[in-house]
Amino acid sequence: MDRNTRFRILAAVLLVVLLFWLFTALQPDNRISYEEFREAVEAGEVESATFTGQAVEGTFADEEEGTFTTVVPPPVVLGDEGIEEFLIANDVTLDAEVEGDNFGALLLFFGFPLLLFIFFFWYLNRQARGQMGGMSNVGKSKAKVHEPHEPTTRFDDVAGYREVKEEVQETVAFLREPDKFRGAGAEIPKGMLMVGPPGTGKTLLAKAVAGEAGVPFISVTGSDFMEMFVGVGASRVRDMFKTARENAPCIIFIDELDSIGRKRGAGLGGGHDEREQTLNQMLGEIDGFEGSEGIVIMGATNRPDVLDPALLRPGRFDRQVTIPLPTLSERVEILGVHTKGKPLDDDVDLEVVARGTPGMAGADLRNLINEAALIAVREGYDTISMHHIEAARERQTIGRERSSVRLDEEEKRAVAYHEGGHALAAFLSEEADPVYKVTCLPTGMALGVTEQLPMDERHIYLKSYLDARLKVMLGGRAAEMVVLGQPTTGGQHDLVQATRLARAVVREYGMSDALGPVGYGDQQQVFLGEELARGSEYSERTAQTIDEEVGRMLRTALEELVADFEALRGGLDALADDLVEAETLSGEEALAAIRRGIDGELADRLHGSAVPAATPRGQAEADTREDAEAEEAGERAGMA
């Protein structure tokens, strides 16, 4: 039970006690019955009586007895046939009051229920305010205004991306020294759109701009404009730009711009969608009749393909700044930022770590170092070693080892042959990426893993590399056909990936002789309306040709692998035997096992390579083996 709940329960209990006390206090404790009242009057004990309807309040003749209250029946109230003569005859002073003059009673019986209703509606409004900003503020912008001194991030905190920072710094320089640019007749771009994959640092770069510019910074996300009420989005856009004009010069940063900037009229139905009205209002505010002088709009998105063309034209978002995945040198700088202040071991080489993390964004690298620190603490180490970083990298890329899944010997050997087929296919091609690790232990969603690490950073791919990659994907199926004589369900994911790659080679890259140098691109449409309006880019006959060519490529690659594996069956068996016994082999150990199982002439067909033992995990395992051998030798010497 949280603190707020306890407070509400205590307040309710106190309210009930207070009401009980009020009702008890209002009940008179000197009330007598009507019979007792008549007897007291006849005995001359009553001095005066005041009538308020049927209620009677009076005083006794004896001051020690004080006052009394009673209620007389309706037929005996004051009047010609009432109790008046009886009281006068017994020397009782009579008086009367108008019913309802008791202000306390009126307040209790009418004011208190009204207060309860007021409290009830106040509570409902408070709950609604927490969910959608309250009814009175529903059209107000949710943008946060940061003063110039509040953001503490600077460009030095953003590692790499030198060209990107140079483009953004022009905006910062204009906001700091506008007269310098205006004197030369230059105009700063009104809008700047940062485009890049998730986690590359678009929001971090916006924070750096806010810290460097020295002007008010207004931040908002695209989803903050949308609400269940019609017209709220456009109202919030107007309110945000009103605030920006009051604080000009300033910067507006809209994160996840694609949530409100999607193409208009791309879906089914009319064009009066709430999102479209919000976008229309934003287009008018950025570069409409009134204009946005002194306001620089920055947007961030990882889906530029869905944005409306009117939003991207010059005068609105004039400049697009692409923030791609970091290169090798940029990954080294990013790792340096995220490891600053952390206790690193002497064996940590950030360049080697960066070489083994191709395709990782800045957010991935940050998570990598944090995961390595968690592993080091879990294992009882005070410093982060290369082994911890490698374990964290494997957890991010291939998943965590699942010790709860137990395979019997037959399944384990089948998995060993399957993973051995992937490794052997990689060793047969010089173009394939070097093999880093082979394991038959269940890891992540797979029953086994063959991991490859590129030694060089690639920006374009040759067809020979794509062919080698296709064969590596089909290596597991080829090994099953050679050894087991039939396929298993273990290669389902491999077939999906291989088919996707072959289809891209034929349809998108134009590398097929059957189709020629024709590229159709990716056919996935973002909106259903676009897909229905555009239709297919090629005929059904061409689609049939693509399907036939994809099937031919996969069958040819598989047949070639089966022929090679039959010739190298001894090496495949040796690798599977070592893998079943050790469960995990490094790339060099796998290559050595294959060479041991075949003669020297067949070994010349192995043109591929393995990741050198000097890589983090390989070196760590080598050091561990050397330490174990030295300890064993010391024990033998002591026994002797």
Instruction: Note if the bond before 73 is cis, omega within 30 degrees.
Output: no
How far apart, in Å, are the Cα atoms of 545 and each of 393, 498, 524, 549? 41, 18, 19, 6
The number of beta carbons lying within 10 Å of the beta carbon of residue 243 is 18
Catalytic residue, from 274, 390, 401, 419: name it. Answer: 419
Cα separation, 120 vs 114, whole angstroms: 10
Instruction: Give the angle subtended at the CA of 565 by the CAs of 560 and 570, to the nearest 5°.
Output: 165
The answer to whether 258 and 196 are in contact (CB under 8 A) is no
* Category of 272 on φ-ψ map: left (φ > 0), alpha (ψ -120 to 50) or beta: alpha
Cα separation, 259 vs 262, whole angstroms: 7
Phi, psi of 194 (to 5 degrees): -95, 120
- Name every residue whose Cβ is closer than 8 Å to that of residue 319 and which is 6 or more positions away in sequence: 167, 189, 191, 192, 193
Q: Report the b/e string of 190-217 with b at 16+ CB within 10 A.
A: bbbbbbbeebbbbbbbbbbbbbbbebbb
Tokens of 386: 């290369």
How far apart, in Å, are the Cα atoms of 401 and each of 391, 406, 615? 10, 12, 21
Q: Is 275 exposed, middle or buried (0-12, 13-18, 19+ CB in 10 A)?
A: middle
Tell whether the torsion through CA atoms of 476, 478, 481 and 487 is positive or negative.
positive
46-52 sheet: strands from edge to edge: 67-71, 55-60, 46-52, 93-96
Q: Do you know the residue count of the chain?
A: 640
What long-range pairs does 165-169 form, CB within 8 A, spacing at least 24? 165/205, 165/208, 167/192, 167/319, 167/321, 168/192, 168/205, 168/208, 168/209, 168/321, 169/212
Cα separation, 551 vs 544, whole angstroms: 11
How far apart, in Å, are the Cα atoms of 630 and each of 548, 622, 624? 60, 12, 10
Cα separation, 572 vs 565, whole angstroms: 7
Q: What is the Cα 68 distance to its own chain's centre?
A: 74
Cα separation, 436 vs 441, whole angstroms: 15
Is residue 635 part of the annotated active site? The answer reads: no
What long-range pairs does 83-91 form, CB within 8 A, spacing at least 24? 86/38, 86/41, 87/41, 87/46, 87/49, 90/41, 90/42, 90/44, 90/46, 91/44
Closest by CA to 342, choosing from 379, 383, 385, is 383
Phi, psi of 217 (to 5 degrees): -125, 125
Q: Are strands 295-301 and 250-255 parallel, antiparallel or unpaired?
A: parallel
Q: Are strands 295-301 and 191-195 parallel, antiparallel or unpaired?
A: parallel
| Residue-by-residue DSSP string for 556-602 | HHHHHHHHHHHHTHHHHHHHHHHHHHHSEEEHHHHHHHHHHHS-HHH
Per-state percent for the chain, helix, strand, coil, to nearest 5: 55, 10, 35
Which residues are the active-site residues?
419
